[in-house]
Amino acid sequence: MTLNLNSILKKLLILVLMVAVLILAKGFLMPMVIGGILATLFLPFCNWMQRIGLGRILAIFISLLALLLVFGAIIAMLSWKISELFNDYDLLKNQSIKTFNEIQTYFFEHFGITLEKQSEIFKSEKPSLSGLMQLTVGSLKYILTNIILVLAYFFFLLYSRAHIKQFFLKLTKDKQHEEMEQILKSTTQVSQQYLLGLAKMIACLWILYSIGFSLLGVKNAVFFAILCGLLEIIPFIGNITGTTITVLITALHGGNISLILGIVVTYATVQFIQGWILEPLILGPQVKINPLFTIIALIVGDWIWGIPGILLAIPIAAMVKIVCDHIEPLKPYGFLIGDLVIDKRGKNKLQKFLYKFQLFRKLS
């Protein structure tokens, strides 16, 4: 078999151009993609309200209010727990100063850097107050603008969904309309399944971490459980980050080695339950992407769009997989992105049980 060099170069050129467009058009595309994914999540709710007799605009407006209520509830819950955390501000401040002094002493004893020299280095690296204010104002303006754009895209994409569907159908021949409708339906469903599954997963992690941290006697256990659960939106990295923050703040509170080891054991136990029980039952096989391309998607998402790119990487990769699975020349790429093929004969008893349980759920 011979590979056509021109074909490979054309595909690489298209890939490079797509990445360049994503980077250059970040300010335009990012809010639209976020609004579009959130719109697919509320699409069944919006359709249901229209079926029971509500007008289109009223149904979309109620969906928008529901979206704001969900995010408002999460922010309120975090704010409440963070305020509890700041009740121990003096203790954390004293522990931080003590740890900082110990680090300074270590550098002096092992590297010969005097305390005065360290203070000079720290002051030279500390940003000015005016610079911090400008950065804060700029960040708030950027966040507020993008929130307004996301909400606007959310509203108008739901309002224009039938028109957009007709546009995609007009791009294809009459005999391909059925296949295009299937692609659109599957892409929407995989986005809904991922987001709803992720919400259920986060709720389960809140419960598991809350139980584990409370039994250990971790201070502000519920807050750290919420934090670890919310960071699940960033696969692999999120839970590790949340657990690391929990360990550090527990250490600053004066936690002993057994408590810190207990937090690590709790994290490992929750990860085992999540990977072997929750993910197969909640997320299902449709949104499964193999670990290699999960990491690649996260790295590329961070490189192109930063933190929003990390959050959007997995649902976008799942949508790309669906599109590839329905277009004949792209099917090998869909297979490459998809979950690893494992011989069922090699599954252990737990995997076999979960596999049979999923089949039973589908049949019922």
pLDDT (tens digit, 0 to 9) for every residue of the chain, 364 residues total?
455 677 777 878 888 898 888 888 888 888 999 999 899 889 989 999 999 988 889 999 999 999 999 888 878 877 776 666 666 666 666 666 666 676 767 666 666 666 666 666 666 655 555 555 666 677 778 888 989 999 999 999 999 988 998 998 888 888 888 888 888 888 887 777 778 888 888 888 889 999 998 898 888 888 888 888 888 777 667 778 888 888 888 877 777 788 888 888 998 898 888 777 777 677 655 566 777 887 888 888 888 888 788 878 888 888 888 888 877 788 888 888 887 765 544 445 555 555 555 544 544 4
Nearest-angstrom CA–CA distance, 63 and 65 = 5
**Type of residue at 236:** F
Centre a 10 Å sphere on the Cβ of residue 259 and count the other Cβ atoms it contains. Answer: 17
CB contact at 8 A, 191 and 321 = no
CB contact at 8 A, 317 and 301 = no
Tell me the CA end-to-end span of the chain in Å, nearest whole number. Answer: 47
Burial call 8-40: b when 16+ CB within 10 Å, e when fewer = eeeeeeeeeeeeeebeeeeeebbbbbbbbbbbb
Nearest-angstrom CA–CA distance, 125 and 119 = 10
Centre a 10 Å sphere on the Cβ of residue 319 and count the other Cβ atoms it contains. Answer: 21
Average pLDDT, rounded, for the chain: 78
pLDDT in tens, 117-161: 666 666 665 555 555 566 667 777 888 898 999 999 999 999 998
Q: Which of 302, 288, 299 is nearest to 340 (CA)?
A: 288
**And the tokens for 312?**
């959007």
- Give the pTM: 0.72
Residue 236: strand, helix, or coil: coil
H helices of the chain, in order, are 5-24, 26-51, 56-85, 89-111, 115-125, 129-159, 161-170, 177-216, 221-230, 237-252, 257-273, 279-282, 291-305, 307-326, 331-337, 349-363
Residue 53 CB-density burial (10 A; 0-12 exposed, 13-18 middle, 19+ buried)? exposed
Cross-strand pairs, 338 = 289
pLDDT in tens, 203-260: 888 899 999 988 988 888 888 888 888 887 776 677 788 888 888 888 777 777 888 8
Longest dimension (CA), the chain: 78
